[in-house]
Amino acid sequence: MTVKLIDKNSIALAGTCPSEDAEELFQYLLENRLAVVDWSQCEQAHTAVIQVLLASGCELKGTPAGSFLHGHIEAALRRARGQIRPFAAGLEVRNSRSRQD
């Protein structure tokens, strides 16, 4: 199984994760907001899967086995998450209260 929900706190990615895995990973992360994703056995992952990791801001555990993931994607995800979001606009704050003057 390339994507597997271990328990509420952890999800594992292993082998070559195809684009279909993105949906499953997304559901798991949606239902288990605190889960950490262990990708140490992951050799390759389709962009759709990486996109889910990027969007969720989830914590990643382990060094991915695949050289492209380890050499470039890991750093890219870390930068996207750990920085003061130079590329991100943050969340929308839909303020229904009137501002105090």
Which residues are at the interface with other proteins (CB under 8 A)?
8, 19, 22-23, 25-26, 29-30, 32-34, 46-48, 50-52, 54-59, 67-68, 70-97, 100
Residue whose CB is less far from other proteins, 6 or 67: 67
**Minimal distance, residue 99 CB to other proteins, in Å:** 9
> Phi-psi bin for 26: left (phi > 0), alpha (psi -120 to 50), beta?
alpha
Residue whose CB is less far from other proteins, 1 or 30: 30
Phi, psi of 49, deg, nearest 5: -70, -45
Q: Which residues neighbour 1 within 8 Å (Cβ) at sequence distance 6 or greater?
A: 14
Angle between helices 47-56 and 74-82 (to 10 degrees): 20
How long is the chain? 101
**Minimal distance, residue 36 CB to other proteins, in Å:** 10
**Minimal distance, residue 2 CB to other proteins, in Å:** 15
